[in-house]
Amino acid sequence: MKKPGKSLRSNAIEIHPRGEERKALLVPEVDIEEAERQIAELQETIEDIELMRLVEERVVTGKESGTPLAEVIREFGEDDLLEDGPTA
Amino acid sequence: MSAASVELSDEAKADLAELYREDRELVREAFRQMQALEQQPYAGEKLREKSNRKPLAEADCRKLKFHLPDRASSAEPRYRYRILYRLEPHEGASDRVYVIAVCPKKDAYGPGAARAAKRLRELAARRFTERRL
């Protein structure tokens, strides 16, 4: 099977222990991979919504002034990074 | 190759100070990543905001994922930290990289998901109201 189904259950095969209601599902790997891909996509989207909230909290005008990177690096006492980096 | 100046907000500096208490090497790596942004301001991924009617504060934001370079490739999540920044004056003319935050990966489950869902509802309501006005 190369193409994923519409859902995890589309191509799944149910396995019942004899005489019992409970069951297990055999799901093709391609469907698991598609489900994992979709979950990862949703997680990224949710994370980005959270990050947008942070942006809204911190950025008001869009013309905020900041501290140059080199200055911040010096403030943290990590001057050696400036010797090699493009910030030097 | 485009070059941009990188500037940090006060809040981003505070984020770094907090990270510094946790792990100095992590902050050094964040600085290295930001130095790389000077040469490659588009290295981060654009945030996935579906609307094209974004307020200025939300426009052109990107996130750059990072962790210590020697982190195991099997570690989950692979990149635990984010540099959240905005290109200014806008995408396509990135003279300045304005770093808004340096923070751990936001949780996609539990409270994070609940807050995101709430925000989506608020956004939908706001856009509905805007269309009616």
Domain regions of chain A by residue span: 29-88
For A70, other C-beta atoms within 10 Å of its C-beta total 20
Pairwise CB contact (< 8 Å): A52 & B49: yes
Could you say which of A53, A66, A78 has the minimum Cβ distance to residue B8? Answer: A66
Could you say which of B10, B58, B105 has the minimum Cβ distance to residue A47? Answer: B105
Residue type, B65: K
What does the pLDDT read at residue B42? 92
Could you say which of A62, A69, A81 has the minimum Cβ distance to residue B56? Answer: A62
- The residue of chain A nearest to residue B20, with distances taken between CA atoms, is A76
Look up the pTM and report it. Answer: 0.77
Chain A from 13 to 32: CB within 8 A of any B CB: none
- The ipTM, to two decimals, is 0.77
For residue A54, give the nearest of B12, B69, B125 by alpha carbon: B12
Mutate which: A59, A78, A87, vs B, most B CBs within 10 A: A59
List, for residues B18-76, the tens digit of each pLDDT value.
Answer: 999 989 999 999 999 999 999 999 999 988 755 445 555 556 789 999 998 888 878 77
Name the helix (H) or strand (E) containing A45: helix A29-58
What integer best gives the mean pLDDT of chain B?
A: 81
pLDDT in tens, chain A (88 residues): 789 999 999 999 999 888 888 999 999 999 999 999 998 888 888 888 888 888 888 876 666 789 999 999 999 999 999 986 555 4
> Contact, B64 vs B97, CB < 8 A?
no
Tokens encoding A64: 């905020």
Question: B110 or A57: which carries more pLDDT confidence?
Answer: A57
A/B interface, count of CB pairs below 8 Å: 119
Measured CA to CA, the distance from residue A5 to residue A35 in angstroms comes to 10
